């Protein structure tokens, strides 16, 4: 097998063109000699890929504070800021920014949000507080309310989505889908406002499956605007974004450069007093502007809870 085809087969989602470029830039023999894409690989052979220094993608370098005391720091995370380091992000992450801002006593993350999702993110001041907060999340004693801008006008004002979710048998490893043999997954929703062809909807996840809100809304026929995995084109926009980044043409198809999902409100027992503590992050400015652009007007506060 050619070396570029071998590399393509070993790295998920890699195109043949990208595999060829990686071999030309990064592939070496064990003795340090450069390799060519057309070289044939042999059983037992070691292929070295040496990644050259790279420029870390840009990301927001500031965040708002929702709540701050001796036990908790609650952040209003901006869209586009990763929470944890990854292959692409190191310094441009919330964990790094927290270490920079609080070097003496860095807060510990009690849960996480996707890079594109904005809103309330809870951190603990001490390890004891972290354990208490994580215990609340694990026991599902936390009420979360998300806001999303969905495609189409939802016909019902409120409802309950009860669709089990699991990973597909083939395809992208990060995808989730509705499966009869999947894990129980439940979401309550209530329409906040409607525009001509879009809906602002509040979502109460009762379970915490990966991508649950995105998959559940897509299953109703109302995928979230800007969703690269579960929109009308399926995962094709995600694959294009991996290859080329966000182009004007791709953004026009998506309707927004990121998924229009915001962690708006979270109620949790304070780790020391045990008192219910409500934490609120207003809808992110880019989504306020998007809703106005879609003809939705001023954003209305969501109801306290779905029935």
Element (H, E) at 299: none
Catalytic residue (choose from 4, 31, 68, 114): 114
In three-state form (DSSP H/G/I as H, E/B as E, the rest C), the secondary structure along 123-170 is EECCHHHHHHHHHHHHCCCCEEEEEEEEECCCCCCEEEEECCEECCCC
In the residue annotation, 162 being an active-site residue is answered as no
Q: Is the torsion defined by CA of 164, 169, 174, 177 positive or negative?
A: negative
Closest CA to 219 of 271, 137, 150: 150
Q: Name the 3-class secondary structure at 297.
A: coil
Q: Which of 116, 121, 113, 58 is CA-nearest to residue 91? A: 58
Nearest 10 degrees: Cα torsion 49, 52, 58, 59 = 50
Tokens 């926009």, residue? 237
Q: Which residues are catalytic?
A: 114
């Amino acid at each position: 097998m050619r070396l570029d085809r071998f590399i393509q087969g070993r790295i998920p989602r890699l195109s043949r063109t990208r595999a060829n470029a990686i071999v030309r830039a990064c592939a070496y023999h064990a003795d340090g000699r450069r390799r060519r894409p057309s070289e044939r690989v042999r059983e037992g052979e070691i292929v070295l890929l040496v990644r050259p220094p790279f420029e870390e993608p840009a990301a927001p370098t500031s965040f708002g504070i929702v709540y701050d005391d001796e036990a908790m720091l609650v952040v209003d995370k901006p869209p586009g800021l990763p929470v944890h380091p990854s292959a692409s992000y190191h310094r441009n992450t919330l964990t790094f920014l927290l270490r920079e801002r609080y070097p003496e006593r860095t807060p510990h993350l009690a849960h996480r949000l996707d890079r594109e999702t904005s809103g309330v993110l809870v951190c603990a001041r001490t390890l004891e507080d972290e354990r208490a907060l994580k215990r609340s999340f694990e026991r599902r004693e936390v009420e979360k309310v998300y806001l999303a801008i969905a495609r189409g006008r939802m016909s019902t004002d409120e409802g309950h989505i009860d669709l089990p979710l699991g990973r597909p048998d083939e395809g992208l490893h990060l995808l989730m889908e509705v499966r009869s043999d999947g894990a129980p997954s439940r979401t309550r929703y209530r329409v906040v406002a409607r525009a001509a062809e879009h809906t602002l909807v509040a979502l109460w996840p009762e379970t915490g499956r990966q991508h649950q809100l995105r998959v559940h809304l897509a299953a109703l026929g109302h995928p979230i605007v800007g969703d690269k995995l579960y929109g009308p084109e399926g995962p094709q926009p995600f694959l294009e974004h991996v290859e080329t980044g966000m182009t004007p043409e791709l953004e026009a198809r998506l309707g927004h450069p990121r998924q229009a999902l915001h962690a708006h409100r979270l109620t949790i027992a304070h780790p020391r007093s045990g008192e219910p503590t409500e934490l609120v992050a207003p809808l992110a400015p880019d989504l306020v502007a998007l809703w106005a652009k879609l003809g939705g007007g001023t954003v209305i506060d969501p109801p306290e809870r779905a029935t």
